[in-house]
Structure 1
Amino acid sequence: MSNNKHIIPHEHQLCKQKRAAIKGQKPCVLWFTGLSGSGKSTLANAVEVKLNQLQKHSYLLDGDNIRTGLNQGLGFSEEDRVENIRRVAEVAKLFVESGLIVLSAFISPFQKERDKARALVANDEFIEIFVDTPLEVCQHRDPKGLYKKAIKGEIPNFTGISSPYEIPNKAEIHIKTDKMTIEEASQIIIQYLQKRGYLTC
């Protein structure tokens, strides 16, 4: 029996607007989604470096890193993958409340789960970035050898091989990493943030 009915959220005296104001930025979630090997983490890292150079406050949540700590008890069944993204989305929400720009780099293959993550924050605080790279390019890159293992059947429920990836239907930014460099792609994202006032508050 759940005891959630006895939990009463504590009201903080400081709001996210005040936390963000001293940082000179507007908090948001940069949600990078795409196949394994698409370049999500590499691109997110490049964007965070640029944000740091602009003296903006950010934090990067990465799939493998989260699974070695917060989500280490989760497997790769569809149920566990959904729970993995749910937890990440909740953490991202907390970072937004702290006034940070949080970068989230996860395959997050299901549209329903990405929509749930979006719904946790204000509409203009969620920026979905579709890192669109053809499956064959991802398989050729295969930096961790995961596709080879998945094709051999050593990794079940692997996105793009034995589990589907649902293409985003309303991504704010669409990046094709097979058509441009990481530098070009990261600059597109920074310019998006600058034009919309996330970096000039």
Structure 2
Amino acid sequence: MNIIWHESEVSKENRQKLKHHKSAIIWFTGLSGAGKSTISSALEKELFSKSIHTYRLDGDNIRHGLNKDLGFKQEDRQENIRRIGEVSKLLVDAGLLTLTAFISPYRTDRDLVRGMVETDEMIEVYVKASLETCEARDPKGLYEKARRGEIKDFTGIDAPYEEPINPEIVLDTNNIGVKESVAIIVEYLQSNGYIGCEK
């Protein structure tokens, strides 16, 4: 294939300096109903109030467009995450803090995304909640449908979820709410120099 990467004359570092913050992927993973979308949305609002340039990618939203051709079998889930990883990598290069909310049940897929960016450019946030808690919440009624057999390959019911081994952040949403979860992430970003710093 005669394809050659064309380098930009404006670097990622130039863009970060312009925005006065680092860029990275904040990757939310966890069971359906754990709180990934809710927390990532609240975090986006909080960062916006601090003049931090972000963009949020949400599982359901992406499947309305970019990944609408994919189902939920393992190979489709893997391709879903690979594409999100590639898009996230571009957004990091653009100088954004990129928030992604995806179940992303397989460690190998999350590791693949981590390998696409530099060492400190992926912050894995494990939104941890028990299956019982998630089923009790069931905001979209998906667990009920999965239990009735109307949804196949549903994570936590008839498809596996592999917990992160060494995530940067763990949010135990069995015991903490959205506001505290956001505060934990913001504190991590500040203490590790992603925000509140001059590039």
TM-score, normalising length: structure 2: 0.98
2:145 match:
149
CA distance in 1: counterparts of 2:12 and 2:149, whole angstroms: 46
The structure 2 residue matched to 1:21, chosen from 4, 12, 17, is: 17
User: Unpaired segments of 5 or more residues in structure 2?
Assistant: none
Which runs of 4 or more aligned residues in structure 1 lie more than 3 Å from their structure 2 counterparts after TM superposition?
none
Letter in 1 for 2:14: K
SS of match in other structure, 1:174 = strand
Deviation string 1:136-174 (CA, Å, 9 cap, x unpaired) is 000000000000001111111000000000000110000
Match status 1:66 vs 2:58:
no
Percent identity at matched positions?
A: 51
1:126 match:
122
Deviation string 1:22-57 (CA, Å, 9 cap, x unpaired) is 111000000000000000000001111110010000
Q: What's the C-alpha RMSD, in Å, of the aligned pairs?
A: 0.6
The structure 2 residue matched to 1:46, chosen from 37, 42, 48, is: 42
Give the deviation of 1:20 after TM superposition. 1.1
2:163 match:
167
1:7 match:
3
Q: How many residues align?
A: 197
CA distance in 2: counterparts of 1:123 and 1:154, whole angstroms: 41
TM-score, normalising length: structure 1: 0.97
1:34 match:
30
CA distance in 2: counterparts of 1:153 and 1:7, whole angstroms: 46
2:102 match:
106
Give the deviation of 1:11 after TM superposition. 1.0
Give the deviation of 1:194 after TM superposition. 0.4
Letter in 2 for 1:133: A
SS of match in other structure, 1:124 = coil
Deviation string 1:44-72 (CA, Å, 9 cap, x unpaired) is 01111110010000000000000001001
CA distance in 1: counterparts of 2:117 and 2:178, whole angstroms: 28
2:87 match:
91
Letter in 2 for 1:102: T
SS of match in other structure, 1:31 = strand
